[in-house]
């Protein structure tokens, strides 16, 4: 590939004339914008151990009352993007949120899509679009774009969950904003009770639900049972994984980020091929080594890590006799919709 001209090769008066007119020469930056073969990535493979994060989150509970925080969150920020930019990857925001017994995080709605993966504690709930969603370890609760949501806690111990939002992308699009609301009236019924089993869906006389987001809560007991059944049903299956989908359409549960649960059999090593989207791993059960970009993270329960796109990731269940279960979030729906998704 031939060398392209540098900015310094141009006379200063010419550069000044360009700058005054808001003009920029392309060729000095062309290779940085369109590097050969593989994109430039700021995302660094990063591990956030829960054991080191949790005491600081509990300390935030002492230092900052909920009224002064609205959402009491420590953001899992990727150093490669600059901590102040609060991104785990180009499109993924991660935050660990703490809610103490009796606390209330008031109702609002916003343009970015969110999900919560419950990490620890019982008794808290999120009310989304009038549906009260109880929170238990491993449950996935959707807060899709534009839906009212608020968090409450009737239990006796701190509750912690992982927030996964497409905030960095929506912010970059200059489309991120919120609206505060009033306490929601809780409606009867819940999507996870109505859409109980794969293969059958609720039908009113002859019409199906027209809700864009029919299911807001995906209980961990159901996702786990599906994985265990898959592994038993097909003992040679390598990738024992489920995708969280909209049960009416079969599409990804949300528009921009994808969500999955993966089971690793005892002693199993699974290599995920290099694909364009970045991804995040959160360990629900067991002990898993995650290797990517020349690093290995020894994940224990409640740990979270991320990997940039275009890199293979190898997962190893460290236990010889117990399965391991991970929650995965990635940017696949975004890449697919934009036509840039690829596997190497």
Name the site residues for ligand GTQ (rule: CB under 6 A): 71, 73, 95, 97, 110, 114, 149, 163, 165
Query: How far, CA to CA in Å, does 126 sit from each of 65, 66, 73, 165, 252?
Result: 19, 15, 15, 16, 21
Least gap, CB of 171 to ligand GTQ (angstroms): 11
The answer to whether residues 86 and 77 touch, using CB atoms and an 8 Å cutoff, is yes
Nearer to ligand GTQ, 112 or 277 (CB): 112
Closer of 133 and 262 to ligand GTQ (Cβ): 133
The distance of closest approach from Cβ of residue 179 to ligand GTQ in the complex, given in angstroms and rounded to an integer, is 11
Least distance CB 163 / ligand GTQ (angstroms)? 3
- C-beta of 213 vs 325, nearer to ligand GTQ: 213
For residues 109 and 137, which CB has a smaller minimum distance to ligand GTQ in the complex?
A: 109
Phi-psi region of 189 (alpha: psi -120 to 50; beta: other; left: phi over 0): left
- Smallest Cα–Cα separation from 99: which of 116, 76, 84, 115? 116
- Torsion, Cα 230 233 236 239, to 10 degrees, reads -10
Cα–Cα distance measured from residue 53 to residue 51, given in angstroms and rounded to the nearest whole number:
6
Q: Residue 268: which residues within 8 A CB-CB, separation 6 or more?
A: 316, 317
Structure tokens at 101: 């017994």
Whose Cβ is closer to ligand GTQ: residue 129's or residue 285's?
Answer: 129
Q: How far is the CB of 116 from ligand GTQ (least distance, A)?
A: 7
Rounded distance, CA 58 to CA 71, Å? 14
Instruction: Considering the complex, state which of residue 115 and residue 215 has its C-beta at the smaller distance from ligand GTQ.
Output: 115
d(CA 212, CA 324): 32
CB 73 → ligand GTQ: shortest distance, Å? 4
Least distance in angstroms from the C-beta of 235 to ligand GTQ: 40
Q: Which is nearer to ligand GTQ, 161 or 325 (CB)?
A: 161
Q: Least Å distance between CB 335 and ligand GTQ?
A: 23
Residues 303, 289: Cα–Cα separation, whole Å? 11
Other C-beta atoms closer than 10 Å to the C-beta of 293 total: 15
């Amino acid at each position: 590939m031939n060398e392209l001209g540098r900015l310094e090769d141009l006379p200063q008066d010419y550069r000044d004339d360009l700058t005054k007119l808001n003009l920029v020469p392309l060729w000095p930056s062309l290779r940085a914008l369109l590097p050969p073969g593989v994109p430039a990535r700021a995302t660094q493979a990063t591990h956030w151990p829960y054991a080191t994060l949790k005491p600081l989150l509990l300390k935030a509970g002492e230092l900052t009352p909920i009224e002064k925080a609205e959402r009491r969150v420590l953001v899992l920020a990727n150093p490669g993007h600059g901590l102040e930019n609060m991104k785990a990857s180009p499109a993924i925001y991660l935050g660990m949120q703490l809610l103490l017994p009796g606390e209330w995080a008031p109702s609002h709605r916003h343009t970015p899509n969110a999900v919560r993966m419950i990490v620890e504690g019982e008794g808290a709930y999120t009310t989304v679009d009038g549906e009260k969603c109880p929170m238990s370890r491993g449950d996935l609760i959707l807060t899709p774009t534009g839906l009212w949501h608020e968090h409450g806690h009737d239990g006796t111990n701190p509750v912690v969950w992982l927030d996964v939002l497409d905030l960095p992308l929506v912010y970059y699009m200059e489309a991120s904003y919120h609206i505060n609301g009033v306490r929601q009236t809780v409606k009867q019924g819940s999507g996870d009770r109505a859409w109980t089993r794969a293969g059958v869906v609720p039908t009113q006389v002859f019409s199906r639900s027209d809700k864009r987001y029919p299911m807001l809560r995906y209980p961990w007991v159901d996702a786990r049972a599906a994985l265990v059944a898959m592994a038993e049903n097909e003992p040679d299956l390598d990738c024992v994984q489920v995708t969280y989908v909209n049960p009416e359409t079969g599409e990804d549960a949300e528009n921009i980020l994808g969500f999955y649960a993966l089971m690793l059999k005892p002693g199993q090593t699974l290599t995920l091929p290099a694909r364009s989207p970045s991804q995040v791993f959160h360990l629900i059960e067991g002990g898993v080594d995650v290797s990517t970009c020349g690093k290995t993270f020894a994940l224990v329960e409640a740990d979270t890590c991320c990997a940039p796109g275009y890199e293979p990731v190898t997962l190893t269940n460290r236990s010889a006799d117990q399965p391991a279960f991970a929650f995965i979030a990635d940017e696949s729906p975004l890449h697919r919709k934009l036509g840039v998704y690829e596997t190497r």
